[in-house]
Amino acid sequence: MEARILVVEDDPDLQALLAQGLREEGYDVAQARDGAGALRAAAAEPDAVILDIGLPDADGRDVCQALRARGMTAPVIFLTARDAVPDRLSGFSAGGDDYLSKPFVLAELLARLQALLRRAGTGGSRAVGELQLDPAAHALLGHDVRVELTPTEFRLLASLAATPGEVTRRRELVRAGWPEGAIVHDNTLDVYLARLRRKLRDVQGAPVIETVHGVGYRLT
């Protein structure tokens, strides 16, 4: 299952360009042209939102605040023609996670989007071994398997699953698992990973969390 991206942009050319670029990267794309449409489309729980600040019926920052007030936690990237410092700050205080000034290069947007999705633990495929990570249920699901995960366990597993077979560094896992600025001791991460391993140990089709000494962990 690919990440679903909501694109909110009233410029039809830019909207089309973004939608095509995102689909070519394998994302599932939802589109809206104004604030009211964004609020409706967000009910489908996008994994990330690309949000123009200059919308015909609303300021994108107000739309972002409204989405946050409804409990949406997905990362938001603001787009704007303006590049003033006060705008950047107000974008972040409105609940945005990143900011791009028009005109921008599509590759730059895709790179930032990928970084945000990875941090949010929703990047790329949610397949984990032969099972699927279900963000709504905070569980790992298979045919007749259901492994309940705590929110932290879920984020750690999603982060590992974003790059199966590749090593995820310890500090990346800490970033994925805990809020920014949280003090996470080395053995806290070890404790959580040990618990995750125990949960996955007897589950058919589940991957194995392998330790790569001195580097990090990988799913195999």
Cβ closer to Ca ion: 12 or 181? 12
Binding stretches for Ca ion (CB under 5 A): 10, 52, 54
Tokens linked to 40: 């409706």
Cβ closer to Ca ion: 53 or 67? 53
**Nearest distance, CB of residue 59 and Ca ion, angstroms:** 10
CA 119/CA 114 separation, integer angstroms: 8
Tokens linked to 28: 């599932």
**Nearest distance, CB of residue 11 and Ca ion, angstroms:** 5
CA 87/CA 33 separation, integer angstroms: 21
Q: For residue 187, which of 201, 218, 195 has the smallest C-alpha distance?
A: 195
CA dihedral of residues 71, 91, 97, 51 (deg, nearest 10): 80
Cβ closer to Ca ion: 16 or 215? 16
Residue nearest to Ca ion (CB): 54
Cβ closer to Ca ion: 10 or 45? 10
**Nearest distance, CB of residue 98 and Ca ion, angstroms:** 17
**Nearest distance, CB of residue 133 and Ca ion, angstroms:** 35
